[in-house]
Amino acid sequence: MAYGFGTGDEIIVPSFTFVSTVNATRFVNANPVFSDIEENTFGLDSESITSKITSNTKAVVPMDYGGSSCNINSIKKVTDENNLKLIEDAAEGLGSSVNGKKVGSLSDLAIFSFCGNKVLTTGEGGAIVTNSKEIFNKIKSIRSHGRLDNISYFNNPSDAEYVGIGYNWRMSSITAALGISQISKLDKLIKMRQENAFFISNHISKHKQIQIPQNPENIYQMYSILLENKKLRNALQKFLLEKKIFCKIYFQPIHLMDYYIEYFKDKKISLPTTESISERILTLPLYPNMNNNEKQYLVDSIDEFFESSANLL
């Protein structure tokens, strides 16, 4: 909305993401254009992006998966060369880095999520960062009914200036205070996640059927593994759920969801890497205060699964 995208504009997005990434394009009546992802980062592939660019393309929206950055430098090179906006879905990437630079610092605009499963949480809500003062001011107006937001509404004795259409997307002071109180603990929370992830990786990497996370700058907002095939992934998930270990498939491809199947019914969408990853990925439990007994139970259960010849599919 702040960039003025609308009817006829095309926004290049991943299908391997949470649905909100793609829905945002439809809210302004723009057209999402799906690009494939890389096998190693699960982020948008720059070559695939290049093949999708047309005269109607206005922006690229890469997603940082599970606390690990996409190949943002390669993507930025493409957007710079084609005069496109780079809007980074860094919902899962707060605190992560790419080549020593913090996620969100290389794009025109980036969003972070503070929902319940994120590294820093306020229950719901999030934050936007941008290098544009103009876009910053537009976003402030949009989030508060289109009002010029220099003074808090309830502290302003003068008439409010409404300069456009907006919504009530303001974060409450209580919610914001909850988030601010965690900022000083962010590095500690990340370290706790990383230590737990390293424990899991060290214990399950012996199984050749599992591909563990590889990025050394990963802050492990999620801990996701790849299995050799969909049948093995589904069998492991079923086994762990029966052991009362919660595990989930992040993500199902957006282009295979009902709304977008109907939306693109006249178009053939080919995203082989996206579909391959989504069929083999499994996200295991991981959180800062995961204790030794919980971690050991998880890795022992995975060992038990693979030690059974019936499970070697």
Q: What is the CATH number of the domain that holds 288?
A: 3.90.1150.10
Which pLDDT tens digits describe the chain residue by residue (313 residues)? Answer: 999 999 999 999 999 999 999 999 999 999 999 999 999 999 999 999 999 999 999 999 999 999 999 999 999 999 999 999 999 999 999 999 999 999 999 999 999 999 999 999 999 999 999 999 999 999 999 998 998 877 676 666 677 788 888 999 999 999 999 999 999 999 999 999 999 999 999 999 999 999 999 999 999 999 999 999 999 999 999 999 999 999 999 999 999 999 999 999 999 999 999 999 999 999 999 999 999 999 999 999 999 999 986 656 5
Instruction: Establish if 1 belongs to a structural domain.
Output: no
Residue 306 has φ and ψ, to the nearest 5°, of: -80, -20
Question: How do the residues of the chain divide into helix, strand and coil, expressed in percent and rounded to 5?
Answer: 40, 20, 45
Question: Are residues 118 and 53 part of one domain?
Answer: yes
Question: Are residues 266 and 135 part of one domain?
Answer: no
What is residue 161's predicted lDDT score, i.e. its pLDDT?
A: 81
> How far apart (Å, rounded) are the C-alpha atoms in residues 95 and 120?
9
Question: Are residues 71 and 34 part of one domain?
Answer: yes
Residue 231 has φ and ψ, to the nearest 5°, of: -60, -45
**Environment class of residue 298 by beta-carbon count within 10 Å: exposed (0-12), middle (13-18) or buried (19+)?**
buried
Question: Are residues 177 and 70 part of one domain?
Answer: yes
Instruction: Establish if 2 belongs to a structural domain.
Output: no
Query: What is the three-class DSSP state of 162?
Result: strand
Question: Are residues 55 and 153 part of one domain?
Answer: yes
Question: Are residues 212 and 155 part of one domain?
Answer: no
Q: Indicate the residue among 168, 183, 198 that finishes a domain.
A: 183
What is residue 158's predicted lDDT score, i.e. its pLDDT?
A: 72
Instruction: Establish if 3 belongs to a structural domain.
Output: no
> How far apart (Å, rounded) are the C-alpha atoms in residues 71 and 99?
10
Instruction: Establish if 274 belongs to a structural domain.
Output: yes
Question: Are residues 131 and 74 part of one domain?
Answer: yes
Query: What is the three-class DSSP state of 86?
Result: strand
Q: Indicate the residue among 156, 183, 210 that finishes a domain.
A: 183
- Chain centre to alpha carbon of residue 184: 23
Sequence length of the chain is 313
Q: What is the CATH number of the domain that holds 42?
A: 3.40.640.10
Question: Are residues 178 and 31 part of one domain?
Answer: yes
Question: Are residues 166 and 96 part of one domain?
Answer: yes
Instruction: Establish if 303 belongs to a structural domain.
Output: yes
Domain residues for 132?
Answer: 10-183
Side by side, which strands form the sheet with 10-14?
31-35, 10-14, 57-60, 85-89, 109-113, 126-130
Beta strands 101-102; 85-89: pairing state = unpaired
What is residue 83's predicted lDDT score, i.e. its pLDDT?
A: 99
> How far apart (Å, rounded) are the C-alpha atoms in residues 313 and 304?
14
- Chain centre to alpha carbon of residue 83: 24
Q: State how far the alpha carbon of 28 is from the alpha carbons of 4, 58, 92, 107, 134, in Å.
A: 8, 13, 24, 21, 19
Nearby residues of 169 by Cβ (< 8 Å), 6 or more positions away: 142, 143, 144
Instruction: Establish if 5 belongs to a structural domain.
Output: no
Instruction: Establish if 4 belongs to a structural domain.
Output: no
Count CA within 13 A, CB hemisphere, residue 284: 30
Peptide bond preceding 154: is omega within 30 degrees of 0, i.e. cis? no
Question: Are residues 231 and 200 part of one domain?
Answer: yes
Instruction: Establish if 73 belongs to a structural domain.
Output: yes
> How far apart (Å, rounded) are the C-alpha atoms in residues 222 and 168?
30
The domain tally of the chain equals 2
Element (H, E) at 239: helix 230-242
Query: What is the three-class DSSP state of 46?
Result: helix
Question: Are residues 132 and 23 part of one domain?
Answer: yes
> How far apart (Å, rounded) are the C-alpha atoms in residues 83 and 126?
27
Q: Indicate the residue among 135, 150, 183 that finishes a domain.
A: 183
Amino acid at 156: N
If phi > 0 it is left, if psi is from -120 to 50 it is alpha, else beta; for residue 200 that is alpha
Question: Are residues 123 and 205 part of one domain?
Answer: no
